[in-house]
Homo-oligomer: A and B are copies of this chain.
Amino acid sequence: MTTVLPPVLLTAREAVDPVLREAIGRLDPDTRRVCEYHFGWRGVDGTAEGGGGKALRPAMVLLSAQCARPPGAPDHAVAAAAAVELVHNFSLLHDDVMDGDTSRRHRPTAWTVFGRPAALLAGDALLSLATEVLLGSSSPHAAAAARALSATTRVLIAGQAADLDFEHRDQVSLEECLLMAHDKTAALLACASSIGALTAGAPQDTVVGLRAFGTELGMAFQLVDDLLGLWGDPEVTGKPVLSDLRARKKSVPVVHALNSGTSAGDRLRELYAQPGPLTEQQLREAADMVQRAGSADWTRQECRRRLDAAAEHLPRGPQDVTEALTSLAEFVVRRKL
């Protein structure tokens, strides 16, 4: 299945790419090479490639800035859009090392190609460049935006710490799991959807509304991701089928099932507690238990509820912009389901 990307994603990619490339061009050659590979701009051997991520976060930054910007005010949001994308990719590079993930965006992860130390340094570099890029912008509110972005990074780190912690625990409550999803995913989308408004010096209630929009959208996004981690098409996700179960991830649908008090939940707990890798048959059984516990349905409904809540929080703005934000939100959740 091929998904047609909304035009705002392409526009965002075109706006942000030159800023990202200029920033990464400041790095030493070794670190630059890893970053260029990670972004899909170059192959392992350094040859140019046309790849790259979906630019979802940059699009949210640019749209929300348009939504919030007072008429006639200059647009300072491109630097913020690039900075958010840099922080996102910092976290991908480091998470892949920590989680031992070997595949991302249908390609081997950076650490498998360049080694763990080089991938770590590349992540460090992207995090540092995010601040440098944002503070290099001409917005008089760049410092406030950079401060918000670094506070968000702290929350991102808390989310990854919780995710790692869950791996070693038998009991994880649904509430803990949803908080982890918030910290790991929704917090950066909340930042993406409000930082453009910050750089524009928008009123506080606009910033707050956009942040709430991004938080709810971010939760919906993570819930979809969790469903894809169980039933996503490997052709589309770039990950092997049932990969989250294989890694015994405590994703939202899994934790919902484990806490469901159903016999399917109990069976899933037995499978997760089993020593050694799960067989293909056991993986299919585990997925079936999540389904039977009603957790796939619950996750889908929760996802829809979050998406509705996002729409309610969206502040007023130019109609074409709010429509674009709403359709971006729909796209995020509808993708590949």
Q: Give residues in A with beta carbon < 8 Å to B.
A: 26-28, 30-31, 90, 94, 97-98, 116-118, 120-121, 123-125, 127-129, 131-132, 135-136, 142-144, 146-147, 149-151, 153-154, 157-158, 160-162, 164-165
Contact = CB atoms under 8 A, between A and B. Distances in A.
Contact of A128 (B28, B121, B127, B129): B127
Given A143-B135, A143-B142, A165-B30, A157 B98 contact: no
A157 B28 contact: yes
B31 A161 contact: yes
B132 A151 contact: yes
Nearest to A99: B117
Contact of A153 (B128, B136, B144): B128
Contacts of A157: 27-28, 31, 121, 124-125, 128
Given A27-B157, A31-B157, A31-B161, A94 B120 contact: yes
B124 A127 contact: yes
A116 B164 CA distance: 11
Contacts of A97: 117, 120
- Looking at A26, A123, A160, which has the most chain B CB atoms within 10 Å of its CB? A160
Contacts of A150: 128-129, 131-132, 135
Nearest to A87: B128
Contact of A117 (B117, B154, B164): B164
A129 B154 contact: yes
Q: Which of A27, A94, A129, A161: most chain B CB closer than 10 A?
A: A161
Contacts of A124: 90, 94, 123-124, 127, 153, 157
A135 B147 contact: yes
Ranked 6 nearest A-B pairs via Cβ: A28-B158, A98-B117, A143-B143, A135-B147, A131-B150, A128-B153
Contact of A161 (B121, B143, B154, B162): B121
A120 B161 CA distance: 10
Most buried by B among A28, A131, A149: A131
A31 B27 CA distance: 28
A136 B142 CA distance: 13
